Amino acid sequence: MGFQSVQSHYYLLVFYYNFIYKTIIMSSIISSIERLKKERQAIILAHNYQHPEVQDIADYVGDSLGLAQTAAKTDAKVIIFCGVHFMAETAAILCPDKTVLMPDPQAGCPMANMITPRELRNLRAQYPDAVVVTYVNSSAAIKAESDYCCTSSNAIKVVEKIPKEKRVIFIPDQHLGHYVQTQTKRDNMVLWRGYCPTHRRILPEDISKKKQLYPAALVVVHPECATEIVNMADQVASTSGILKYCRESKNETFIIGTEIGLIHRLKKENPDKTFIAASDLADCPNMKLNTPEKILWSLEDMVYKTTVPEDIAKLAMKSIRKMLEITG
């Protein structure tokens, strides 16, 4: 048997495997998930960066703010949180009477690990009169040490609520912090050195090359991107803001500068428009740890429960509540 014949047989086997998986195995998994959801009185929440198949079986798909708001309002007894650890922690803080489960407990956030409570306390000691605004991409312990919490969709609004004469310590994302600083025209912000490794993989040359290929495309990026990427954009917005902008724009082609998981929802909601990832390397391995199989196992065995110590949860709730009071 020649090489080409072996190769064609291989591709045929792959095709049949994918067909069987999607039509038979996945159908069985989804059916079992739906049955267990009813038995457990559960809801599945998924971030915009999740695998397409996870987004498609979720009851709600959204950004950090939308997920927090949905968790706070749901009547479900069990929340299956398909995101990363700090998101599940936020849900556990907002819903102490509910069971919050993560399908994969290893789904963490590198940015959230870039500042510790000790480092934040040392920073506060340097600027004792400053107000600490913490991006939601942080641990519950960091939120407990903060004055305000924020998301990428409401960071500007939260900072604008703080008197101009007050110094603001913004943690942990230096890029979102810099964007907020330019938009609010504050010269008294202290920015931590954290960042999102996934968004940092989007480079200026990626945008330039895509613009050459798609000259009529609009460049829409997330504020977690590096400043030089933000400066090349036609629009800067959170994931929910990107969805809204692309939906309302009359333009037909967009270069999307954020984690590639958002492309699935953009295409799903706008089938007549074209979306190009600024970089295929902007793929968060932590977000992609959740799968339909793990969701099923989580519902079957009621694992893995996310809890926050009561003393930390009580303090963290204050900064989260202040954010929700400002943004609704």
Per-residue pLDDT tens over the stretch 195-241: 999 999 999 999 999 999 999 999 999 999 999 999 999 999 999 99
| Domains of the chain with CATH codes | 3-107+288-301 (3.40.50.10800), 111-197+309-327 (3.40.50.10800), 202-281 (3.40.50.10800)
Q: Which two tokens stand for residue 106?
A: 């290893």
The pLDDT score that the predictor gives to residue 25 is 82
Q: Which two tokens stand for residue 226?
A: 């590096």
Coil, strand or helix: which one is 57?
Answer: helix
Per-residue pLDDT tens over the stretch 39-81: 999 999 999 999 999 999 999 999 998 999 999 999 999 999 9
* Residue 4 pLDDT greater than 60, yes or no: no
Tracing tokens 């048997």 back to the chain, one arrives at 1
* Residue 3 pLDDT greater than 70, yes or no: no
The pLDDT score that the predictor gives to residue 20 is 67
Per-residue pLDDT tens over the stretch 248-286: 999 999 999 999 999 999 999 999 999 999 999 999 999
* Residue 6 pLDDT greater than 80, yes or no: no
What pairs with residue 46 in β-bridges? 61, 82
The pLDDT score that the predictor gives to residue 26 is 85
Per-residue pLDDT tens over the stretch 93-142: 999 999 999 999 999 999 999 999 999 999 999 999 999 999 999 999 99
Amino acid at 130: A
Q: Which two tokens stand for residue 120?
A: 């934040």
The pLDDT score that the predictor gives to residue 228 is 98
The pLDDT score that the predictor gives to residue 2 is 52
pLDDT bin (cut points 50, 70, 90) of residue 14 is: low
Coil, strand or helix: which one is 173?
Answer: strand
The pLDDT score that the predictor gives to residue 7 is 61
pLDDT bin (cut points 50, 70, 90) of residue 303 is: very high
pLDDT bin (cut points 50, 70, 90) of residue 27 is: confident
Report the alpha-carbon distance of residue 201 to residue 280 in Å, rounded: 9
Contact 289, 304 (CB under 8 A): no
* Residue 304 pLDDT greater than 90, yes or no: yes
Tell which residue, 80, 137, 62, has the closest CA to residue 304: 80
The pLDDT score that the predictor gives to residue 13 is 72
Tell which residue, 116, 64, 110, has the closest CA to residue 89: 64
- Cα–Cα distance list, 176 to 87, 152, 158, 172, 288 (Å): 18, 7, 13, 9, 23
Selected residue with higher pLDDT from 158 and 4: 158
Q: What's the whole-number average pLDDT of the chain?
A: 95
Backbone conformation region of residue 254, classed left if phi is above 0, alpha if psi is from -120 to 50, else beta: beta
Long-range CB contact pairs, 271-275, < 8 A, 24+: 273/246, 274/214, 274/217, 275/246
Coil, strand or helix: which one is 147?
Answer: coil
The pLDDT score that the predictor gives to residue 87 is 97
Could you write out the DSSP letters of every residue in 87-140? HHHHHHHH-TTSEEE-S-TT---TGGGG--HHHHHHHHHHSTTPEEEEESSS-H
Q: Mean pLDDT throughout 141-168?
A: 97
The pLDDT score that the predictor gives to residue 9 is 62
Amino acid at 93: I
